[in-house]
């Protein structure tokens, strides 16, 4: 029997799927091929160590399961760096064992990083899929590729860290949520994706904040003509609200500490959660039979409420024996996080309140201007459509998610260190809006050009506009991606302009790679070297990846050293002056100067 | 909120948006292609170094513009001080009669106008600026110059350093070869320190706590028009507010005190001065803090003569 010919829509869907896969593959390969020059940031070496420790537990799980399930074995493997959940570190560790230790295919760092590449590459087809629905295929291609044309994003995409993976998971949850509104089964995928997002980084906890209003409004509207559906809709909401009220009463009556301590397998505390989940599940089941439209609006949220905590608990063995107190510690760590000094427009920010405009200004000064401007006009366009009440559901969803992470980090009391990475989950959605800006702009220019130039077609104009926007961003990315924390946009005046503006020169200490070849070539055998801002884990990783000579003696301060590699930070200048004092000179011998800006400066003790 | 996804552009927005995006993209492309042309070749630095080695005089200083272009430090001849730090454009550079301004005027946001506004008052250009690729070297005479008559740092071994109780009782801090070691274990030594992001060559000064003062007394000094004391907490200590107190600093000339309060939590360099120092005067500088925790100060005392 021959297959019936594909419809036009089916052919289009198939082509889009292929493009999506091609984007994923191209993104993954691009990261793999450009991985080697990217240094190990301070956190990454910590995560390498944690990941290796997790991997040893998985090996124990295979060799001796009964021993592996004990809290002692779990704590031994997972206690280190338990301020972050385990999903990415589990994957980093397994990848390291398989691709480096077992197969010997990759150097240790690359093997750890492979899962990060996959998560980062996943962002491209997700952006494509969202933009495709709104603005068409060319805009979708541009939007997807543009995510990797932001030097700081491309740099971060290489790292075994969590900032790009959570951006991927955030986008995935939103994508699944959108599809769940119209398609079967996607409600459960939304719940699973949300659980994995929680397992990636704590940003995931904010996803319900942005998705719940959509679910409630759509559920309310969908049930408008069905009293039965409206009743079930209200009962489902009531079940979870009632659970929340019960927890609030417990917290007031018992105090937060006693309430948390009371969680156990057969406790009323856990029973409330189970009851809410069961009630939510049963009511949703009835709603699915009563009114599919309302069910589709509500089900993703119910799935998130039920599956999110379950997956979060299951994915992290560290929680298995002490779920509440360890989760509470984890959340408290992030609620009371330290503030690190941060140089911003000529002022050293040390403590809150931080400037409200910080996030927007920092984004404007770091995202290539040829991408930032279409992001901004695209954003303005959707805002205008909201004002005109013409906005579509997906446009509004994209707009809300473009704003949410930026709005959260903009709060003056929230820690402001870390460059731009903390609001990465906004960036895929801003890329979607940029794609829209190009599509509209190409249409507008084409309409204007047509009477003046016969060859003007929307496709040609779009291509030219896309190339014009992508090229400067590509040049900046190629030149700077390995020193991504130093990258600044054209609006800032590039790296030198940002230095004159008084912006943070760099952070995370990975720019050391810019002077490692000089150190390896010029350090005397066994010379004592102080690598400012680099901790022992980074030194270990540079040495085991063949990037730093192993005969060098790494010391802890300039007075102990014969060579100092000082990382320029406004807040750490005392370390440079300590070197002047110890070495009796203010004259460096070498340095990494990006577009003339000092990044890493090497001093040698005078003999 | 409608359910449809696709929509057609409306009005003139698309044309304006397209033109704006295209213009910005072309400008950005131009910027990216131009930026590498602002880099400085090593040969240009070498050429500047040769000029400085040949023409610089003792007492000269090199000032960097923009302030962060410290790559020049690698090449400037040893012994010729280089000044380049946040806000260094406005430095008086008092003890230096001549200033070599080494600038990179082609860099983005170099802001020559802003620099000139802070730097040029009381300065006179000597000859023409010389360009070496993207480097520009210009010599100025410093109208803010005053001859340095004495400095506490230069007199370090001859200083009399002691702890002085509220009743006037003194405990000596004898010279050890590198610094003056006090009975409380703290050392008064000449060191580089960060005071509000400036590298300052100063005396490290740790108040002993309570009402007791740490005092440096200069040997009888030559006559000077003015004696100036600069101080500030080193590094990040200036920003601390928890578990610290402010400090009281004094500059005395023959017993006449010019007091200075150095508060906690304010990142700054503080200055106090006295006019008219007679020949053979006794100059003392002291610090006292109720709580000595993290009150490390960087202290400089200079005696300046009359401007020529």
Q: What is the pLDDT of residues B27-48, one digit of tens each?
A: 999 999 999 999 999 999 999 9
Q: How many CB atoms lie within 10 A of CB A64?
A: 12
State the DSSP code for A372.
H
Q: What is the mean pLDDT of chain A?
A: 96
Q: What is the mean pLDDT of residues A257-277?
A: 80
From chain B residues 172-231, the ones with a CB under 8 A of any chain A CB are 191-194, 197, 199
Q: State the pLDDT at residue A531.
A: 98
From chain A residues 222-241, the ones with a CB under 8 A of any chain B CB are none
Flag whether residue A242 sits within 8 Å of chain B, measured between CB atoms.
no
* 8 A C-beta contact, residue A310 and residue A231: no
Q: State the pLDDT at residue B4.
A: 38
Q: Residue A587 and residue B27: Cβ atoms within 8 Å?
A: no
The answer, yes or no, to whether residue A257 has pLDDT greater than 80, is: no
Q: List residues bridging with A445 in a β-sheet.
A: none
Q: What is the mean pLDDT of residues A186-208?
A: 97
What are the structure tokens assigned to A252, written together? 């007031």
> What residue in A sits closest to B83 (Cα-Cα)?
A586
- Determine the 3-state secondary structure of A525 from DSSP: coil
What are the structure tokens assigned to A289, written together? 């039979």
Q: What is the pLDDT of residues A271-301, one digit of tens each?
A: 898 999 999 999 999 999 999 999 999 999 9
DSSP A270-304: HHHHHHHHHHHHHHHHHHHHH-HHHHHHHHHHHHH
Flag whether residue B74 sits within 8 Å of chain A, measured between CB atoms.
yes
Closest CA to A571 of B94, B124, B267, B38: B267
Alpha-carbon distance A294 to nearest alpha carbon in chain B (angstroms): 15
Residue ranges per domain, chain A?
6-161+338-492, 194-336, 510-604
Flag whether residue A140 sits within 8 Å of chain B, measured between CB atoms.
no
Place of tokens 């020949």: B279
Q: State the pLDDT at residue A607.
A: 77
Q: What is the interface pTM, i.e. ipTM, of the complex?
A: 0.95
- Determine the 3-state secondary structure of B45 from DSSP: helix
Closest CA to A335 of A205, A461, A449: A205
Q: How many CB atoms lie within 10 A of CB B301?
A: 24
- In terms of pLDDT, which residue wins out, A5 or A352? A352
The answer, yes or no, to whether residue A15 has pLDDT greater than 90, is: yes
- Determine the 3-state secondary structure of A575 from DSSP: helix
Flag whether residue A457 sits within 8 Å of chain B, measured between CB atoms.
no
Say what the pTM is: 0.95
Alpha helices in A388-453 (DSSP H): 393-410, 427-449
Closest CA to B88 of B56, B72, B65, B116: B65
Which residue ranges of chain B lie beneath pLDDT 70?
1-10
Q: State the pLDDT at residue B3.
A: 39
User: Which of B10, B18, B103 to mutate against chain A (most A CBs within 10 Å)?
Assistant: B18
* 8 A C-beta contact, residue B218 and residue B150: yes
Distance between CA atoms of A118 and B157, rounded to whole angstroms? 64
Q: Going edge to edge, which strands form the sheet with B160-164? A: B170-172, B160-164, B213-217, B283-288, B247-253, B256-262
Report residue A170 CA to chain centroid gap. Answer: 8
Alpha-carbon distance A570 to nearest alpha carbon in chain B (angstroms): 7
CB proximity list for A341: less than 8 A, separation 6 or greater: A348, A349, A350, A417, A569, A570, A571, B236
Distance between CA atoms of A342 and A417, rounded to whole angstroms? 6
Reported confidence tier of residue A383, pLDDT bands at 50, 70, 90:
very high
State the DSSP code for A570.
G
Q: What is the mean pLDDT of residues A551-572?
A: 97
Among candidates B9, B24, B110 on the partner chain, residue whose Cβ is nearest the Cβ of A500: B110
The answer, yes or no, to whether residue A474 has pLDDT greater than 70, is: yes
Alpha helices in A64-162 (DSSP H): 65-68, 71-78, 87-95, 108-135, 137-147, 151-157
Distance between CA atoms of B297 and A400, rounded to whole angstroms? 50
């Amino acid at each position: 029997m021959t297959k019936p010919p594909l419809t036009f829509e089916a052919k289009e869907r198939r082509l889009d799927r292929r493009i999506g896969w091609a984007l994923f593959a191209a993104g993954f390969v691009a990261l793999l091929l450009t991985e080697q020059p990217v240094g190990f940031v301070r956190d990454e070496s910590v995560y390498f160590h944690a990941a290796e420790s997790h991997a040893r537990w998985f090996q124990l799980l295979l060799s001796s399961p009964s021993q592996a399930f004990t809290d002692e074995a779990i704590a031994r493997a997972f206690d280190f760096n338990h301020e972050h959940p385990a999903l990415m570190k589990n994957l980093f560790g397994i990848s390291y064992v398989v691709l480096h230790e077992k197969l010997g295919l990759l150097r240790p760092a690359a093997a750890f990083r492979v899962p990060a590449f996959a998560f980062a590459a996943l962002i491209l087809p997700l952006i494509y899929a969202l933009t495709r629905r709104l603005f068409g295929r060319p805009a979708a291609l541009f939007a997807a590729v543009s995510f990797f044309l932001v030097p700081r994003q491309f740099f971060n995409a290489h790292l075994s860290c969590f900032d790009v993976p959570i951006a991927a998971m955030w986008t995935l949850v939103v994508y699944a949520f959108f599809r769940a509104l119209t398609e079967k089964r996607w409600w459960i995928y939304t719940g699973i994706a949300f659980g994995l997002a929680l397992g990636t980084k704590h940003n995931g906890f904010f996803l319900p904040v942005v998705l719940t209003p959509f679910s409630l409004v759509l559920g309310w509207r969908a049930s408008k003509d069905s009293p039965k559906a409206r009743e079930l809709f209200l009962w489902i909401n009531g079940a979870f609200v009632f659970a929340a009220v019960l927890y609030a009463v417990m917290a007031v009556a018992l105090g937060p500490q006693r309430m948390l301590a009371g969680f156990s397998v057969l406790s009323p505390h856990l029973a409330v959660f189970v009851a809410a989940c069961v009630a939510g599940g049963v009511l949703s089941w009835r709603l699915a039979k009563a009114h599919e439209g309302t069910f589709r609006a509500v089900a993703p949220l119910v799935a998130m409420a039920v599956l999110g905590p379950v997956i979060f608990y299951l994915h992290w063995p560290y929680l298995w024996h002490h779920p509440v107190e360890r989760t509470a510690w984890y959340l408290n760590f992030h609620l009371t996080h330290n503030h690190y000094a941060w140089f911003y427009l000529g002022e050293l920010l040390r403590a809150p309140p931080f400037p409200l405009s910080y996030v927007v200004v920092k984004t404007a000064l770091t995202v290539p201007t040829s991408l930032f401007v279409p992001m901004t006009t695209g954003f303005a366009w959707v805002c205008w459509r909201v004002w005109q009440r013409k906005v579509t559901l997906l446009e509004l969803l994209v707009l809300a998610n473009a704003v949410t992470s930026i709005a959260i980090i903009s709060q003056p009391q929230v820690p402001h260190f870390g460059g731009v990475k903390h609001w990465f989950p906004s960036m895929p959605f801003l890329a979607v809006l940029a794609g829209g800006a190009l599509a509209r702009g190409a249409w507008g220019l084409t309409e204007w050009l047509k009477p003046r130039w016969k060859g003007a077609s929307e496709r040609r104009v779009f291509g030219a506009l896309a190339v014009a926007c992508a090229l400067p961003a590509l040049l900046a990315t190629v030149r700077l991606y390995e020193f991504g924390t130093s990258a600044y946009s054209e609006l800032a005046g590039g790296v030198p302009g940002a230095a004159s503006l008084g912006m943070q020169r760099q952070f995370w200490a990975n720019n050391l790679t810019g002077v490692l070849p000089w150190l390896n070539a010029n350090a005397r055998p066994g010379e004592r070297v102080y690598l400012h801002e680099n901790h022992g884990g980074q030194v270990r990783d540079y040495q085991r990846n063949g990037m730093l000579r192993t005969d060098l003696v790494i010391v802890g301060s300039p007075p102990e050293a014969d060579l100092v590699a000082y990382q320029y930070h406004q807040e750490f200048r005392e370390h440079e002056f300590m070197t002047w004092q110890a070495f009796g000179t203010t004259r460096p011998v070498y340095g990494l100067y990006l577009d003339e800006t000092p990044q890493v400066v090497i001093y040698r003790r005078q003999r | 909120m409608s359910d449809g996804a696709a929509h057609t552009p409306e009005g003139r927005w698309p044309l304006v948006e397209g033109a704006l995006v295209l213009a910005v993209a072309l400008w950005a492309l131009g910027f990216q292609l131009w930026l590498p042309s602002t880099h400085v070749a090593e040969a240009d630095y070498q050429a500047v170094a040769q000029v400085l080695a040949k023409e610089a005089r003792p007492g000269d200083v090199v000032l960097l513009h923009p302030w962060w272009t410290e790559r020049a430090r690698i090449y400037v001849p040893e012994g010729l001080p280089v000044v380049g730090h946040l806000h260094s454009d406005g430095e008086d550079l008092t003890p230096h009669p001549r200033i070599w301004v080494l600038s990179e005027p082609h860099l983005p946001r170099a802001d020559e106008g802003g620099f000139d506004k802070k730097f040029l008052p009381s300065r006179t250009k000597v000859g023409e600026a010389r360009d070496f690729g993207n480097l520009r070297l210009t010599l100025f005479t410093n109208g803010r110059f005053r001859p340095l008559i004495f400095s506490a740092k230069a007199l370090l071994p001859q200083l009399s350093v002691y702890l002085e109780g509220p009743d006037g009782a003194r405990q000596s801090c004898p010279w050890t070869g590198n610094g003056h070691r006090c009975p409380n274990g703290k050392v008064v030594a000449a060191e580089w320190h960060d005071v509000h992001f400036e590298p300052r060559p100063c005396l490290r000064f740790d108040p002993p706590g309570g009402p007791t003062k740490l005092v440096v007394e200069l040997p009888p000094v030559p006559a000077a028009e003015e004696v100036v004391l600069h101080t500030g907490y080193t590094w990040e200590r200036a920003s601390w507010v928890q578990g610290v107190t402010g400090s009281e600093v004094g500059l005395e000339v023959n017993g006449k005190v010019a007091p200075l309060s150095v508060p906690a939590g304010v990142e700054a360099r503080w200055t106090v001065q006295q006019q008219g120092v007679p020949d053979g005067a006794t100059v003392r500088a002291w610090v006292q803090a109720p709580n000595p925790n993290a009150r490390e100060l960087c202290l400089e005392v200079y005696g300046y003569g009359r401007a020529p």
